[in-house]
């Protein structure tokens, strides 16, 4: 009998406390409306979410309470890696060795980066390029403790890696966002720039769906300052959820200029699950390199009308494409019944399919539409070692044609393969440079004519001109990728 009045009084106390809290929120909202010209109650709905409280887009007064909560889950990553001294100088066409072959020296260097815990037992995310070729990985937590970490798995295609930190099972963890961030919303980047751990910077989402670096992920662009060492660290929204992993910056100087790129949270979650399960990411593979079709390339291909699709630029040996009879110059118009809108779309869709999947491709093959069935292979894992056995040879003088403005040399003379000619010199104002060719590019064929010697290139151009065409389509290998370039011949 005596419990009921007490329970009633308690309920009244909670109601009173709720009334006071509601009043304080109302006062805060009123103050914000008064201090924000043009703000109204409709604006309020856009930044308040009943499920989580104030929405991540809510105008912040300060980030200090949020930082206190999320910063302990962010770590510094230190990896001892093997690399070549002056790797940049061993690329074809740059700083080439007078001996005819570069001989870079291997050395051990320390790579600094960032990361964050995704499970309390020590699983942590970072970027692949921070720990690539690692010999030893260490993780430094926010309280200054250093732990040894092992690599669980890595995916170079998305620049993500999963670590297992040894020596603890109660690490603080982050929450991953379950939505794409909105352009203009507040974000915080926390990481280890220049080895200065626990650094917090703030900014906004500048843009979304940036197709840079890899076709397997669209990047979020942010203007929160990030620098060398921030790679692998998280970008948080104002609710403390990770919206992305910092991976790259655009910078003419090497420092932050307010253009940074983060791998989106949905990509991070998907790759983390696959790395945890298998230590690697298995992707479907056809064995083709493709390129979007410009009007000039369409004309060079002899297409009668504008065509949506992608043109095949290269066929990998012993690939499903080889077995299916696909050839360079074929146009892929659809995959599994869906149009192939551009090269990124096609590559990603194939990569999302398990190896062994059978898919239908619609092609324009030798100006005839056809349908073929291809059984997907498994995308080969790319090499992670620096340098290449084919890099670094001194170019000698080859066929120099002033009208085109380029100097050519047979690729086999430079140890760069059995076919093709290498651009050893280029006139900036020449036709070749204006078409987009660069020193070090390898011209594989022109309008279907293979290249062995410099004169083959110019003979092929003359043949195209004799046919009354304005465009010669050259197939170019550059930086281990192959593409078509439309070269005017008149």
- Give the DSSP H/E element, type plus range, for residue 227: none
List 206, 214, 217, 231, catalytic entry: 231
Known catalytic residue at 418: no
Nearest 5°: CA angle at 164, between 163 and 168?
140
Known catalytic residue at 159: yes
List 56, 111, 155, 159, catalytic entry: 159
List 114, 129, 223, 237, catalytic entry: 129
Cβ contact 184:204 at 8 Å = yes
Residue 15 has which token pair? 């109601």
Of the candidates 174, 179, 166, the residue with the CA atom closest to the CA atom of residue 125: 174
Whole-number Å distance between alpha carbons of 243 and 175 = 9
Known catalytic residue at 231: yes
Query: Which one-letter DSSP state was computed for residue 452?
Result: S
Nearest 5°: CA angle at 327, between 293 and 375?
100
Distances (CA, A) of 259 to 39, 118, 221, 249: 29, 26, 7, 6
The DSSP secondary structure of 459-476, one letter per residue, reads HHHHHHHHTT-SEEEEEE
Distances (CA, A) of 47 to 24, 42, 183, 212, 241: 18, 10, 14, 30, 15
Of the candidates 403, 444, 390, the residue with the CA atom closest to the CA atom of residue 93: 390
Query: In a 10 Å sphere around its CB, with 0-12 CB exposed, 13-18 middle and 19+ buried, how is residue 332 labelled?
Result: buried
Catalytic residue ranges: 129, 159, 231
């Amino acid at each position: 009998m005596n419990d009921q009045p007490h329970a009633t009084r308690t309920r009244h106390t909670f109601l009173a406390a709720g009334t006071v809290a509601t009043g304080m929120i109302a006062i805060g909202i009123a103050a914000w409306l008064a201090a924000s010209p043009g703000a109204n109650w409709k604006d309020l709905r856009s930044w308040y979410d009943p499920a989580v409280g104030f929405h991540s887009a809510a105008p912040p007064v300060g980030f200090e309470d949020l930082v206190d909560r999320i910063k302990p889950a962010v770590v510094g990553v230190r990896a001892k890696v093997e690399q070549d001294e002056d790797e940049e100088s061993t690329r074809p066409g740059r700083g080439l060795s007078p001996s005819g072959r570069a001989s870079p020296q291997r050395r051990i260097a320390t790579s600094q980066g960032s990361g964050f815990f995704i499970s309390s037992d020590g699983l942590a995310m970072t970027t692949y390029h921070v720990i690539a070729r690692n010999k030893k990985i260490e993780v430094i937590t926010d309280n200054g403790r250093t732990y040894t970490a092992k690599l669980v798995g890595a995916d170079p295609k998305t620049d993500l890696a999963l670590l297992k930190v040894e020596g603890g099972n109660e690490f603080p963890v982050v929450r991953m966002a379950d939505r794409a961030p909105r352009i203009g919303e507040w974000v915080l980047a926390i990481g280890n720039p220049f080895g200065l751990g626990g650094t917090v910077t703030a900014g906004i989402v500048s843009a979304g769906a940036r197709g840079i670096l890899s076709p397997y992920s669209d990047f979020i662009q942010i203007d929160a300052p990030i620098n060398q060492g921030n790679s692998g660290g998280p970008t948080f929204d104002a609710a403390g959820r990770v919206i992305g992993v910092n991976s790259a910056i655009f910078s003419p100087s090497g420092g932050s200029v307010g253009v940074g790129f983060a791998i989106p949270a949905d990509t991070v979650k998907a790759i983390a699950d696959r790395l945890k399960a298998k230590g690697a990411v298995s992707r479907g593979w056809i064995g083709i390199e493709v390129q979007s079709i410009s009007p000039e390339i369409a004309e060079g291909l002899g297409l009668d009308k504008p065509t949506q699709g992608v043109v095949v630029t290269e066929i990998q040996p012993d690939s499903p494409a080889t077995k299916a009879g696909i050839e360079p110059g074929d146009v892929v118009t659809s995959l599994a019944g869906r149009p192939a809108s551009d090269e990124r779309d096609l590559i990603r869709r194939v990569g999302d399919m398990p190896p062994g999947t059978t898919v239908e491709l619609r092609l324009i093959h030798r100006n005839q539409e056809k349908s073929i069935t291809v059984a997907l292979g498994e995308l080969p894992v790319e090499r992670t070692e620096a340098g290449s056995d084919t890099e670094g040879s001194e170019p000698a003088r080859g066929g120099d044609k002033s009208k085109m403005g380029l100097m050519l040399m047979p690729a086999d003379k430079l140890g760069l393969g059995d076919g093709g000619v290498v651009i050893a010199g280029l006139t900036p104002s020449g036709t070749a440079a204006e078409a987009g060719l660069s020193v070090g590019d390898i011209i594989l064929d022109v309008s279907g004519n293979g290249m062995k010697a410099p004169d083959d290139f110019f003979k092929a151009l003359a043949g195209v001109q004799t046919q009354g065409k304005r465009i010669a389509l050259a197939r170019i290998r550059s930086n281990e990728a192959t593409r078509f370039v439309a070269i005017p011949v008149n």
